[in-house]
Amino acid sequence: MIELKKVTKKFDTGKAILTAVDEVEFSISDGEIFGIIGYSGAGKSTLIRLLNGLEKPTSGTVEINGQMITAIKGGELRKARQKVSMIFQHFNLLWSRTVKENIEFPLEIAGVAKSQRGKRVQELIELVGLAGRENAYPSELSGGQKQRVGIARALANDPEVLLCDEATSALDPETTDAILDLLVDINKRLGLTIVLITHEMHVIRKICHRVAVMEGGRVVELGDVLNVFQSPQAEITKRFVAQVADSGDSQETIKNLRELYPTGELVKLVFLGEQTEKPLLTKLIRSHSVDVNIVQGNISHTQRGAYGTLILQLKGSPAEIEEALAFLRAEDIQAEVMQND
Amino acid sequence: MIESLFPNVDWESMWEATLETLYMTTISTLFTFIIGLGLGILLFLTAPKQLWANKVVNWLTGAFVNIFRSIPFIILIILLIPLTLLLMGTIRGPNAALPALIIGSAPFYARMVLIALKEIDKGVIEAARSMGATTGTIIWKVLLPESKPALISGITVTAIALVGYTAMAGIIGAGGLGTLAFLDGFQRSREDVTMMATILILIIVFIIQYIGDLVTIKADKR
């Protein structure tokens, strides 16, 4: 369990006082994958560094599994850091060490005997899928492989929490997916709590359970990923959600669709969770006399279930259309007729 | 044939002078490496935002390095005569040259160490901190290995400069090829002796450069 209470971090830039993190307060449960999203300068980098004491807050407290990270220092803090490990956007591997030696580094720091290190390193190499590359130097690896070394290194001392600092931002989309899958796998297998910061909404959508949206050092929105995607409240959250899903909401789109499908009614359906798995359209067509034409559709999968939108063209008499809508609403689907005004 | 090209060369004293030059260069390079490394690390770690950030220590170390780096070597030798006498009990011979050689070149190497350490990716140091490394571990297992190629090429340049310094020290009686070239060659107008001493110095320099380059390349896994 991670608990932040009124955490504020101010930097004195010489000319002005900059508030990087402003009274942030939330808690993260064990085994959760918690995402923090924000544009650069939103304070998320500083915030994640407060969790392992790389930065000290100006005020407020950070508590991880009963230990007050903000109150300890020296040897005690170094010991605590072995349980709260971190991976980085640019991997930060030692170029002078091989894959094996890089993964061994945290074990050396923890004072693990040489005879036991080799076995542990081998386990970790298997876990992250790097078997056969033990003796390669980082310069001989691809970006994805480097991040795998970073993850193995971070897991070496059996941490309770893994902090991911833009861990996939330097990778191509395919490698990003593979690394995210690995993180989910680790989360499930080891029960590790993962806190990640990113500016990419698809990372949040793909692996996070909950998300906090940051702007100007403050958390402006926090909630279940599914809910945040479904009904974003803050302006900035809406922009992030729009990054990954074209919800077909903008007037422009409605106008375009109207021109393409001038007859009947355009109806937008919103699915959430298990509703996406029901054969709704089949039922609708079988039991009603309207003509159904799929215009646009989109289903996204998150760790907490799927959500999606579907735009249909319904043709029939107004009464028939009204009946069809009533049926859909009875099935607990949000259905609205798209007006262009 | 060599005898006819270098008629005045006394090979035995030439060999002895070579060994003296090698002795002075080796010992002074060794101490320069250790002291320069220490000063360079201190300069790096006490700089603002670093692990031991400390304005006073940083300023004092920087001032010391800059002052001793700026004094011309030939003047430094003279200035250090009392210290040399105190430490070595003499101001003549190879050992007498060592304090001046080391004090003259360690600050020079310290600057190179500082440059080498500044080249290290800050993220790697942060990663080590995030793993719970002590400053000692960071110095030994991150800073030094990650800057190894630059540290080696730096000490190569310094060692070559030191060969030059030993020759200069030779003028005031430190021994070695410098003394031989000056006293036996220049002052007695035996150009062949000066020429032979020069050739030997060049060979020493080339060998140092060759070994330095080889080790640098081998150490660099980037």
**Secondary structure (DSSP) of B91-121:** SSSHHHHHHHHHHHHHHHHHHHHHHHHHTS-
State which residue of chain A sits closest to B121, comparing Cα positions: A92
A:B CB pairs within 8 Å: 65
In the three-class reduction of DSSP (H, G, I as helix; E, B as strand; rest coil), residue A91 is classed as: coil
User: B interface mutation test: which of A13, A79, A90, A94 has the most B CBs within 10 A?
Assistant: A94
Provide, as residue numbers in chain A, all residues whose Cβ is less than 8 Å from the Cβ of B146: 94-96
Q: Cβ B222–A95 below 8 Å, yes or no?
A: yes
Q: Cβ A94–B134 below 8 Å, yes or no?
A: no
Whether the predicted pLDDT of A245 surpasses 80: no
Provide, as residue numbers in chain A, all residues whose Cβ is less than 8 Å from the Cβ of B128: 105, 109
What is the pLDDT averaged over residues A149-170? 96
Whether the predicted pLDDT of A179 surpasses 80: yes
Q: Cβ A92–B127 below 8 Å, yes or no?
A: yes
Q: What is the pLDDT of residue A321?
A: 87
Distance, CA of A203 to CA of A240 (rounded, Å): 11
Decide which of A43 and B172 is more confident.
Answer: A43
Q: What is the pLDDT of residue A249?
A: 54
The pLDDT-based confidence of A273 (bands split at 50, 70, 90) is confident
Instruction: Tell me how far CA of residue B76 lies from CA of A31, B97, B105, B166, B172, in angstroms.
Output: 66, 11, 11, 13, 12
Q: Cβ A92–B123 below 8 Å, yes or no?
A: yes
Q: What is the pLDDT of residue A251?
A: 56
Whether the predicted pLDDT of A250 surpasses 70: no
Q: Cβ B127–A97 below 8 Å, yes or no?
A: no
Q: What is the pLDDT of residue A246?
A: 55
Instruction: Tell me how far CA of residue B14 lies from CA of A182, A303, B10, B18, B189, in angstroms.
Output: 69, 81, 6, 6, 16
Among the ranges given (A62-76, A187-201, A312-326), the one the predictor scored with the smallest mean pLDDT: A312-326
Whether the predicted pLDDT of A111 surpasses 80: yes
Distance, CA of B44 to CA of B32 (rounded, Å): 17
Q: Cβ B131–A52 below 8 Å, yes or no?
A: no
- Nearest C-alpha of chain B: how many angstroms from A25? 23
- Nearest C-alpha of chain A: how many angstroms from B122? 9
- Which strands make up the sheet holding A193-198, listed edge to edge? A84-88, A161-165, A193-198, A33-37, A210-215, A218-224
Q: Cβ B127–A86 below 8 Å, yes or no?
A: yes
Q: What is the pLDDT of residue A242?
A: 78
- Nearest C-alpha of chain B: how many angstroms from A112? 13
Is A52's Cβ below 8 Å from some Cβ in B? yes
Tell me which residues of chain B have a pLDDT lower than 70. none
For A135-149, what is each residue's pLDDT tens digit?
A: 999 999 999 999 999
User: A interface mutation test: which of B130, B135, B142 has the most A CBs within 10 A?
Assistant: B130
What is the pLDDT averaged over residues A208-219? 95
Is A199's Cβ below 8 Å from some Cβ in B? no
State which residue of chain B sits closest to A141, comparing Cα positions: B222
Q: In this structure, what are the phi and psi dihedrals at residue A118, rounded to the nearest 5 degrees?
A: -55, -45
- Nearest C-alpha of chain A: how many angstroms from B25? 29
In this complex, the residue of A81, A96, A163 whose CB is nearest that of residue B132 is A81
Interfacial residues of B (vs A; Cβ cutoff 8 Å)? 121, 123-124, 126-134, 137, 141-142, 145-146, 148, 219, 221-222
- Which strands make up the sheet holding A17-28, listed edge to edge? A17-28, A2-12, A59-64, A67-68
- Nearest C-alpha of chain A: how many angstroms from B123? 5
Q: What is the pLDDT of residue A330?
A: 85
The label of the residue with tokens 């078997």 reads A131
**Exposed, middle or buried: residue A61 (CB in 10 Å: 0-12, 13-18, 19+)?**
middle
Contact A216, A43 (CB under 8 A): yes
- Nearest C-alpha of chain A: how many angstroms from B37? 19
What is the pLDDT averaged over residues A312-326? 87
State which residue of chain A sits closest to B221, comparing Cα positions: A96
Q: Cβ A97–B145 below 8 Å, yes or no?
A: yes
The per-type count for chain A, helices as H runs and strands as E runs, is: 12, 14
The pLDDT-based confidence of A35 (bands split at 50, 70, 90) is very high
Q: Cβ A78–B134 below 8 Å, yes or no?
A: yes
Q: Over chain A, what is the mean pLDDT?
A: 90
Q: Cβ B221–A90 below 8 Å, yes or no?
A: no
For A214-242, what is each residue's pLDDT tens digit?
A: 999 999 999 999 888 888 899 999 888 87
Q: In this structure, what are the phi and psi dihedrals at residue B65, rounded to the nearest 5 degrees?
A: -60, -45
Supply angle C-alpha A282, A288, A289, rounded to 5: 115
Distance, CA of A120 to CA of A102 (rounded, Å): 13
Whether the predicted pLDDT of A30 surpasses 90: yes
Is A106's Cβ below 8 Å from some Cβ in B? yes
Provide, as residue numbers in chain B, all residues whose Cβ is less than 8 Å from the Cβ of A108: 137, 141
User: B interface mutation test: which of A52, A91, A109 has the most B CBs within 10 A?
Assistant: A109
Q: What is the pLDDT of residue B191?
A: 87
Provide, as residue numbers in chain A, all residues whose Cβ is less than 8 Å from the Cβ of B130: 52, 54, 81, 85-86, 163
State which residue of chain B sits closest to A111, comparing Cα positions: B133
- Nearest C-alpha of chain A: how many angstroms from B141? 9
In the three-class reduction of DSSP (H, G, I as helix; E, B as strand; rest coil), residue A155 is classed as: helix
Q: Cβ B145–A96 below 8 Å, yes or no?
A: yes
Q: What is the pTM of this model?
A: 0.84
The pLDDT-based confidence of A119 (bands split at 50, 70, 90) is very high
CA dihedral in degrees (B60, B135, A56, A40; nearest 10)? 90
Distance, CA of B32 to CA of A3 (rounded, Å): 51
Decide which of A45 and A260 is more confident.
Answer: A45
State which residue of chain B sits closest to A137, comparing Cα positions: B221
Q: What is the pLDDT of residue A264?
A: 83
ipTM over 0.90: no
